[in-house]
């Protein structure tokens, strides 16, 4: 049965329509990633409404491909403009831009492309192998374990998100609070609807997503649009690196890919963490460390392999546990929700064919990235010349039509703008919106699991201690919060003092 | 001190209080999670406000000890907050006028107005870019997705 679902997923992807969707998604991701100021998450949020009318497999293939394309696309601006196109390409600037200044822009882009392809493919294969292993464990999960997983998801993402742990948890809990708006399924009571029928069905996750991730970026682009034209380095050398160069870089690429997969597994960490970690390790293992920061190809290969490897890694907890590992995977989960597929550990069991379609789409997207990247990298340089002011207005216009496309409701478009303004405020306050989006997704799951658990336990909270798995997960949740607070540093201080004295 | 973070903390406390007070009127099963979440949001908001006030205290103590030498760095142009606010207000007006003016006219007016306010985009690029954008939206959302958006003004259609 297991292998038949895997092959069903493969068969779903192997259609002309899905190949076209993968090609389109990679190209779009390449262009979006290449433009500084835009992010893969924003593009995914804007593309999500388009996938409503598509076949589930096609929609997921397109979204996954966009994610993969943007992970590489960020390196184009990093190498040519000295500005990372996406946060995960920040480390690529250090050696990528110096290489372009030395007339090796093509070589840098080629190494980035091949490293991204290898890293992404390895993570896709890791996803294919690991997801069913985890799936066989989580099939035993009941409401107690589901509740514990949801709590763990929120606390890990909240404690590891940018800024302080207070900021991250605040964002996550506001998301959980907002998820209670609407009709309570148990009692039929409308909560926080204020008699407005538009709020009876709650706040659409997609509306909040588009608002929180796209509008703040558009507003930020306007804020900083001072008319200074972006000058990109020219590509004068060949894109395809020599086989001998790739062979020399292979140990670095393989190590960085492993780092990317492992970092992606941890909810709350993403391409930016993985790329810096991989860069530092590449420097540590380098024979001549002085070349780093001055145009060492290893300094381009490491972060790019890692940030593409994060894609598959981040999908492992998303698919196996139903906990989105990042805001981008939260959107992929949202795409499943839009198709009526609820997040949770049952993704692999009850919706195995759709889930494996997504997994195979990630693998094929990475393979497709190589071809599309070789053909269109030079074309994507032209995209970087589009003025920021125009891009900002275009994003706002697309957000409005995208939000309208969800339920044909101008109320929801207004709500989207409200979330957009709130997201802009969060950005100014240094609070990440990612935990809030994850709170919106996990809120209903957490509430249902909580009610079911309390029914099982006859309203006794000690029911959560009756499951060893739930206890372990809740302890990890508490630990993840404590490790980011002064309490942990205070507890470790005597050990650190002893170590220093020794 | 980050004033936005301080204001966000105060907003969080108000939000938590609103949800908590409203939840008291619900049946027990419906009220449980909103009340738990609102208490936690309230506490975290309070922590946020306290941490910002503490930072303010530390900063004013440092200032009292000696003047802070500003770091040398590039001269950065100041953020264009007024333009940003104006474009957002235009976006709100755009949404409000879609049903009366129609999608085509309201989008044209929004793009024209916003690009005039921003002023860093050439007229030629603005016209061509806006036309391409609207063509793509019409093709993808209206033709491909069959989105029922009022295309022309309600007086004409």
Contact A421 B88 (CB under 8 A): yes
Phi, psi dihedral angles at A191 (to 5 degrees): -110, 130
> Which pLDDT value is given to residue A364?
92
- A312-348: pLDDT as tens digits: 888 888 887 777 777 788 888 888 877 777 766 677 7
Confidence band (pLDDT; 50, 70, 90) for A1? very low
Query: Does residue A267 or residue A44 have the better pLDDT?
Result: A44
> Which pLDDT value is given to residue B17?
95
pTM, entire model: 0.83
> Which pLDDT value is given to residue A366?
92
Question: Which of A191-200, A392-401, B64-73 bottoms out in mean pLDDT, i.e. has the lowest?
Answer: B64-73
Distance (Å) from the alpha carbon of B29 to chain A's nearest alpha carbon: 7
CB A411 within 8 A of CB A198: yes
- A474-490: pLDDT as tens digits: 898 888 887 766 666 66
Contact B33 A410 (CB under 8 A): no
Q: How far is CA A379 from the centre of its chain?
A: 25
Q: What is the largest CA-CA distance in chain A?
A: 72
Residue numbers in A near B38 (CB within 8 A):
177
Confidence band (pLDDT; 50, 70, 90) for A419? very high
> Which pLDDT value is given to residue A141?
78
Distance (Å) from the alpha carbon of A355 to chain B's nearest alpha carbon: 24
Q: Burial level of A207, CB count in 10 A (0-12/13-18/19+)?
A: buried
Contacts of B109 (CB under 8 A, 6+ apart): B94, B97, B101
End-to-end CA distance of chain B: 54
Residue of B nearest to A53 (CA): B145
Residue numbers in A near B44 (CB within 8 A):
166, 169-170, 173
Residue of B nearest to A432 (CA): B5
The minimal CB distance from A222 to the residues B23, B30, B118 is found for: B118
Rounded Cα distance, B58 and A8, in Å: 61
**Statement: residue A424 has pLDDT above 80:** yes
> Which pLDDT value is given to residue A337?
78
> Which pLDDT value is given to residue A495?
67
Q: Which of B21, B27, B91, B109 to mutate to test the interface with A (most CBs of A within 10 A)?
A: B91
Tell me the pairing of strands A190-191 and A182-183: antiparallel
Q: Which of B107, B145, B149 to mutate to test the interface with A (most CBs of A within 10 A)?
A: B145
Contact A187 B30 (CB under 8 A): yes
Contact B8 A224 (CB under 8 A): no
Rounded Cα distance, B23 and A426, in Å: 26
Contact A170 B44 (CB under 8 A): yes
Q: Would you state the torsion angle of the CA atoms of residues A180, B91, A230, A214, taken in this order, to the nearest 10 degrees?
A: 10
Neighbours of A34 (CB within 10 A): 31
**Statement: residue A363 has pLDDT above 50:** yes
Q: What angle do CA A146, A148, A150 make, to 5 degrees?
A: 70
Phi, psi dihedral angles at B48 (to 5 degrees): -65, -45
> Which pLDDT value is given to residue A368?
92
Rounded Cα distance, A468 and A449, in Å: 16
Write the CA distances from B81 to A19, A134, A210, A217, integer angstroms. 43, 48, 22, 14
Q: Would you state the torsion angle of the CA atoms of residues A351, A22, A439, A307, taken in this order, to the nearest 10 degrees?
A: 120
**What is the DSSP-derived secondary structure letter of residue A190?**
E
CB A93 within 8 A of CB A281: no
Residue numbers in B near A176 (CB within 8 A):
33, 37
Contact A404 B149 (CB under 8 A): yes
Q: Among A150-159, A280-289, A362-371, name the most confident range.
A: A362-371
Domain ranges of chain B: 3-65, 81-144
Distance (Å) from the alpha carbon of B37 to chain A's nearest alpha carbon: 6
> Which pLDDT value is given to residue B153?
73
Q: Which two tokens stand for residue A405?
A: 């496309």
Residue numbers in A near B114 (CB within 8 A):
392-393, 396
Q: What angle do CA A256, A317, A485 make, to 5 degrees?
A: 80
Q: Burial level of A399, CB count in 10 A (0-12/13-18/19+)?
A: buried
Question: Which of A90-94, A97-101, A479-483, B27-31 bottoms out in mean pLDDT, i.e. has the lowest?
Answer: A479-483
Taking all residues of chain A, what is their mean pLDDT, rounded to a whole number? Answer: 85
Q: Which of A206, A203, A201, A204 is nearest to A184 (CA)?
A: A201
The minimal CB distance from B29 to the residues A186, A192, A387 is found for: A186
ipTM: 0.91
Query: Does residue A383 or residue A285 have the better pLDDT?
Result: A285
> Which pLDDT value is given to residue A426?
94
> Which pLDDT value is given to residue B16?
95
SS3 of residue A84 by DSSP: coil
pLDDT in tens, chain B (157 residues): 788 999 999 999 999 999 999 999 888 888 989 999 999 999 999 999 999 998 888 888 887 776 555 555 455 568 889 999 999 999 999 999 988 888 888 999 999 999 999 888 888 888 999 998 888 888 877 777 677 777 777 666 5
């Amino acid at each position: 049965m297991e292998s038949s679902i895997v092959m069903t997923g493969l068969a779903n992807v192997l259609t002309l329509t899905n190949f076209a969707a993968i090609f389109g998604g990679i190209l779009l991701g390449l262009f979006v990633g290449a433009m500084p100021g835009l992010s893969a998450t924003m593009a995914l949020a804007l593309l999500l409404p388009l996938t409503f009318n598509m076949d589930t497999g096609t929609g997921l293939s397109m979204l996954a491909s966009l994610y993969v394309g943007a992970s590489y696309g960020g390196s184009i601006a990093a190498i040519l403009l000295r500005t990372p196109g996406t946060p995960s390409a920040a480390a690529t600037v250090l050696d990528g831009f110096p290489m372009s200044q030395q007339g090796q822009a093509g070589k840098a882009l080629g190494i980035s492309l091949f490293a991204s392809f290898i890293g992404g493919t390895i993570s896709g294969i890791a996803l294919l192998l690991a997801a069913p292993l985890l799936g066989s464990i989580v099939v035993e999960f009941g409401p107690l374990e589901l509740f514990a997983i949801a709590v763990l998801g929120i606390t890990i993402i909240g404690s590891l998100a940018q800024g302080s742990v207070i900021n991250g948890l605040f964002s996550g809990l506001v998301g959980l609070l907002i998820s209670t708006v609407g009709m309570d399924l148990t009692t039929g009571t409308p909560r926080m609807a204020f008699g407005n029928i538009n709020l009876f069905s709650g706040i659409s996750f997609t509306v909040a997503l588009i608002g929180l991730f796209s509008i703040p970026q558009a507003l930020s682009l306007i804020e900083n649009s001072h008319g200074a034209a972006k000058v990109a380095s020219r590509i004068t050398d060949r894109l395809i690196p020599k086989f001998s160069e790739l062979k020399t870089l292979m140990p670095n690429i393989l190590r960085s890919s492993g780092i990317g997969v492992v970092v992606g597994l941890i909810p709350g960490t993403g391409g930016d963490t993985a790329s810096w970690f991989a860069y530092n390790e590449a420097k540590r293992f380098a024979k001549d460390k002085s070349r780093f920061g001055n145009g060492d190809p290893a300094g381009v290969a490491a972060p790019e392999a890692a940030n593409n490897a994060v894609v598959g890694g981040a999908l492992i907890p998303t698919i196996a546990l139903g906990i989105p590992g990042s805001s981008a995977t939260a959107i992929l989960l949202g795409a499943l929700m839009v198709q009526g597929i609820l997040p949770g550990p049952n993704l692999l069991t009850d919706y195995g064919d759709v889930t494996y379609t997504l997994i195979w789409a990630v693998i094929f997207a990475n393979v497709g990235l190589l071809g599309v990247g070789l053909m269109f990298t030079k074309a994507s340089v032209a995209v970087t010349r589009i003025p920021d002011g125009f891009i900002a207005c275009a994003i706002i216009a697309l957000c409005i039509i995208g939000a309208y496309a969800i339920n044909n409701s101008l109320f929801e478009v207004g709500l989207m703008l409200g979330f957009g303004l709130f997201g802009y405020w969060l950005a100014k306050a240094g609070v990440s919106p990612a935990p809030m989006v994850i709170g919106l997704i996990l809120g209903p799951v957490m509430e249902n699991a909580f009610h079911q658990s309390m029914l099982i336990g006859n309203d006794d909270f000690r029911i959560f201690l009756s499951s060893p798995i739930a206890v372990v997960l809740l302890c990890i949740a508490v630990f993840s919060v404590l490790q980011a607070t002064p309490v942990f540093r205070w507890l470790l201080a005597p050990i650190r003092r002893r170590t220093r004295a020794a | 001190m980050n004033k936005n973070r301080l204001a966000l903390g105060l907003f969080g406390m108000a939000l938590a209080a609103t949800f908590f007070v409203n939840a008291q009127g619900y049946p027990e099963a419906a009220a449980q999670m909103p009340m738990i979440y609102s208490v936690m949001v309230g506490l975290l908001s309070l922590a946020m406000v306290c941490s910002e006030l503490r930072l303010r205290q530390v900063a004013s103590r440092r200032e009292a000890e000696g003047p802070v030498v500003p770091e040398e760095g590039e001269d950065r142009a100041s953020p264009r907050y007024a333009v940003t606010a104006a474009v957002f207000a235009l976006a709100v007006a755009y949404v409000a006028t879609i049903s009366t003016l129609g999608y085509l006219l309201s989008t044209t007016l929004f793009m024209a107005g916003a690009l005039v306010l921003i002023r860093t985009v050439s007229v030629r690029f603005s016209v061509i870019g806006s036309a391409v954008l609207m063509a793509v939206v019409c093709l993808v959302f209206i033709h491909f997705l069959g989105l029922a958006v009022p295309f022309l003004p309600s007086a004409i259609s």
